Homo-oligomer: A and B are copies of this chain.
């Protein structure tokens, strides 16, 4: 483990160090990505051109489904064939303290001394949708740092979290036998993004029922999209793999299916298409994030304070207040740069 002695904050120099195996440089770059703003922009400006070689894998599912244990054993599979692995564990952060909770991330300490593995618990302090902007960028950074596989683990409940999980080349939805109760609120969202299903904790009762449920929902969603049941648009029907992550049962098959999906995406050309769609969406999200930063700079002036006071005193509704501020901001006579 090289501990960086670099004093530089230059993203280009940090990236060069990171590509050379300097873990502290990777960590510093990720911190800049998490913090957003101009620092994140500067990192992406160097990382973007160096990215594209890694395959990204999103893992999502209910709290307690065993995603972290699965992630840990998948790291083992990848390391077995000497692939370097980066992991992003996306925690919903407290909206008030910005604190990230660790929890079962500790199981990942199996890989703590392995230079070919880099694990980071992601959290964004601050604005709504921060994770949606920061996570794909963090994945791209790990890609640019030379990791061959980037695993992104998110909890599969929540608008932002499901979206983040879907922003991968391959998305794995992890369920447990008898999953019906715990994810009812979000089944459709999860079905839509799954390239591969894992029934984890398959040593429990109900695996066959769960498999049948999943197959029925796959049929249903194929019908809903107006196409015939069966493989989707690029000829892929999400396989269903049963695992017991804690013992390693089924993990070899899971890894093989992941690799099969990766190759399938490449040979059909779907990989490039999917990445293009994701990048286009990312441009829009970054646009909104950058705009929000300009708004935040706007949100300190006397005009904003006056509008806010008017709303609090019930003299003005929030929409009229926002529109008045925007009209000001877009008025050529007003200097936005501050």
Measured in the bound complex, the distance between the Cα atoms of B323 and A160 in whole Å is 23
CB-nearest residue of chain B to A330 = B336
Stretch at the interface among A196-204, A227-235, A237-245, A307-315: A307-315
Q: How many residues of A contact B (CB 8 A)?
A: 86
Contact (Cβ within 8 A) A45 B101: no
The answer, yes or no, to whether A288 is at the interface (CB within 8 Å) is yes
A283-B295 CB under 8 A given contacts A95-B159, A129-B129: no
Contact: A188 with B318, CB < 8 Å? Answer: no
Task: Tell me if A's interface is mostly helix, strand, loop or mixed.
Answer: helix
**Complex formed: what's the CA distance from A286 to B304 in Å?**
13
A187 to B102, CA, bound (A): 10
- Partner-contacting stretch, out of A14-22, A80-88, A178-186, A256-264: A178-186
- Which residue of the partner chain B has the closest CB to A162? B95
Stretch at the interface among A1-9, A70-78, A112-120, A274-282: A274-282
A325 at the A/B interface (Cβ < 8 Å)? yes
Distance in Å from the Cβ of A294 to the closest Cβ of chain B? 7
Contact A189 B311 (CB under 8 A): no
Contacts of A106-146 to chain B: CB distance below 8 A: 128-132
> A residues within 8 Å of B by Cβ?
40-41, 44-45, 47-49, 52, 62-64, 91-97, 99, 101, 103-104, 128-132, 155, 157-163, 166, 181-189, 192-193, 224, 275-276, 279-280, 282-292, 294-296, 298-299, 304, 307-308, 311-312, 314, 317-323, 325-326, 330, 332, 336
Centre residue among A99, A312, A314, A318 by max chain B CB count within 10 A = A318
Closest 3 CB pairs of A and B: A158-B158, A332-B332, A48-B317
